[in-house]
Amino acid sequence: MNQLQKDLGDRMGLTHETLRQTTAASAQLVRDVSERMAKVEEISRQVLSETNELQKLQQILKNPKQRGVLGEYFLETLLKNVLPPENFQMQYKFADGEMVDAVVFIKKKVVPIDSKFSLENYNRWAVEESPGEREKLEKIFVNDLKTRIKETAKYIRPGEGTMDFAFMFIPHEAIYYDLLINKIGEIGEDAESIIQKAAAKYHVIIVSPTSFLAYLQTVLQGLRALQIEEQAKEVIKRVADLGKHMNAYETHFKSLGSNLATVVNKYNLADKELAKIDKDVLRLTGSGTNYQAEQLARPEFEDPG
């Protein structure tokens, strides 16, 4: 009975320890699950918040006016990130009062930039599955783009100091990509790339945020080259001034050399006369200093020519 009671006590102790460990593990598991549930809840709130923001963005994109404002914001952000403030201007006004979204100043010339955000017809074309309807919607979208290209081309005004080209900024990479690979505008008379036609016929360069960034980097390098050119001109002007000063110095230096030669000649003549006077004194008085004339050498100047 004593041995049985001892074995039972040991087993009860072991069971109690196992139960304690199991309870601790269960409590830790509950804490882990609670923490993960809290994280999931936070992520859910973030997703919900982002969903709301996306819905707001979709509402903005549905409104043509607000969509235009958003496109101008993208354009201004790109310009600010690349160019110094003095090299661009938003809402540039021409002589007749018309305003272009932005311009870039290159020396004394102006490069017009117009932001165009044609989206409705593109979205309708992108989701349409019927080949016939896609072709109709593509024609509508292509005509829409042509209108936007002509609107941008009217800002090319060399008489008012603009370059003979303008940028049409499309703040939508998908649209630009489809234009670039000729996925849009490859039917009928529009077999030629719209991007190529816009540049060749209307002198309008169609760009997206990514490609426009590359153009701006090129413009920035050009501005730096112009700055270096201006600095080189200033250096050349200063060197020319230095040459003039050197010529004036050479003239004065030669004049000084001639004057020194004259002074030396006069000194030598006066020295000879002094020796003669000493001899005359010696003849008259019978005594003198026996002065001997010492002739100075004339300075020699080499003709730099």
- φ, ψ (nearest 5 deg) of residue 179: -70, -40
Q: Which residues pair with 178 in a beta bridge?
A: none
Residue 302: the pLDDT is: 56
> Residue 37 is encoded by which pair of tokens?
């549930």
The half-sphere exposure of 289 on its side-chain side, counting CA atoms within 13 A, is 8
Q: Is 46 exposed, middle or buried (0-12, 13-18, 19+ CB in 10 A)?
A: exposed
Residue 94: the pLDDT is: 92
CA distances from 266 to 159, 254, 261 (A): 72, 18, 9
Alpha helices in the chain (DSSP H): 2-62, 64-82, 120-127, 131-153, 173-180, 194-202, 209-285
CA distances from 302 to 155, 252, 254 (A): 66, 15, 10
* Residues in the chain where the model's pLDDT stays below 70: 44-45, 47-69, 117-123, 126-127, 181-192, 222-223, 225-230, 286-296, 298-305
Question: DSSP 3-state assignment of 63?
Answer: coil
Instruction: Kindly state the percentage of the chain with pLDDT values over 90.
Output: 8
DSSP string for 235-282: HHHHHHHHHHHHHHHHHHHHHHHHHHHHHHHHHHHHHHHHHHHHHHHH
Residue 60: the pLDDT is: 46
Residue 130: the pLDDT is: 79
Q: Rounded CA gap, 2 and 10, in Å?
A: 12
Task: Order the strands of the 204-207 sheet from edge to edge.
Answer: 88-93, 99-106, 109-115, 166-169, 204-207
CA distances from 188 to 142, 227, 256 (A): 11, 48, 87
- Nearest by Cα to 195 from 210, 207, 212: 207
Residue 11: the pLDDT is: 73
Residue 135: the pLDDT is: 80
The CATH T-level fold of domain 60-207 is: Trna Endonuclease; Chain: A, domain 1 (3.40.1350)
What are the boundaries of each domain within the chain?
A: 60-207
On whether the CB atoms of residues 110 and 128 are closer than 8 A, the answer is: no
Query: Which residue carries 């001899």 as its tokens?
Result: 279
On whether the CB atoms of residues 260 and 268 are closer than 8 A, the answer is: no
Task: Give the global pTM.
Answer: 0.52
* Sequence letter at residue 254: K
Residue 74: the pLDDT is: 83
pLDDT tens digits, 148-194: 889 899 999 989 999 888 998 888 777 777 777 665 555 444 445 78
